Structure 1
Amino acid sequence: ALQASGYPLVRGAAKIPESKLDAFVAANPELGLDAAAVRAGEKTMVPADKLVADKLLTQEEVGSATEMAVYNIDKGGAFTMVADPARVNWTVIIAVLTVLVIYVTMVYGPIAALLVELFPTRIRYTGMSLPYHIGNGWFGGLLPATAFAMSAAKGDIYYGLWYPIVFAGITLVIGLLFLPETKDRDIHTME
């Protein structure tokens, strides 16, 4: 369906052992394969231990066989996304990335100034470093893994978006309730 919608997917070759050929043909009707025609074609005899090592079969599936025929089916394997460089709009991509970098700088500049103003001089470095690294390092650094785990557990590709949404909400509430106004605060005082 993705390929029919225009996504740049390329399907590689598949190596199918004899014992799984009928199931493969039945599971992939879009390939228009005939099991008898595939069996009549080119095959490679592969030792049983290599079938297990290449993860084509499990030890239980191999059973007492010492070797088995393996068929190479062109365009029957996994899909890989391969972008066509001629169709990539490099100007738009660079422009969008530039805008995103500007957004990041608009956030990071005020954060540095705010953190300096929040803490007295004697504990400023620890006061700035600890929340910054917990927020960026732990919560931000674990975002991809946590969002992926949430999406995989729920089976919904969008479910992982709840992670940044919830933490953004928590940050907003904590910021409104506990962050003091720092305007006109003397950052050189030794409080």
Structure 2
Amino acid sequence: MRRNPRLAAICAWGAVLLALGLPVALAATSPWLSYRNPAYVIASFAGIGALALMLLQPLLAAGYLPGPGLARARCWHRWLGAGIVLGTALHVGGLFLTSPDDTLDALLLVAPTPFSVYGVTAMWAILATGLLVLLRRRLGLTLPVWRMAHNALALVAVLATIIHALQIEGTMEPLSKWALCVGVLAASLFTLFDLRLRRPLLRWRGRQPNP
């Protein structure tokens, strides 16, 4: 039976868009939003959007998704990375407008809520990742060193964001939130394993002479 590449591509992108869009759509129906001000609503969906984009980021970086090709996929990866930084800024800014004292306590790591620590950790890791991309040439890092730093910061951002999101009982619907977080974690860990271990090992084996 012949495989239809176009149908496979539609199914792959459809599954990814469903995984991204369903948690956002369910969050839009949350009763928590009915008595919240606009700043809080914007902050909530900026955070949800940033989490959702973290699912797409490793898939683009590794070129797993059909259609765009690796070069274009990595270009999209950079643009979506900027989107995550912007979403993080909107998330923190909206929360500050809603509750300045609570937000400052969280930023100063004196808030009584455990999820605040992970949220601030994720924020700084995301900002550091963005700065690392912007300052790549000025820092003078070799490509392997830069990739290692980029991957390490991104992994910290992913882990801290997931823990932060799972500890909050708020706008997101619980089951879809868990599914999205598991998907983000699985995609991130598999991509790191594939790009930094499996593929280099295969290339190294390919250079070895036959016994």
TM-score higher than 0.5: no
Larger radius of gyration: 1
| TM bin (shorter chain) | under 0.3
Higher RCO (CA-CA < 8 Å; seq separation 6+) = 2
Return the structure number with greater strand share.
1
Return the structure number with greater helix share.
2
Compute the TM-score of the two structures, normalised by the length of structure 2. Answer: 0.24
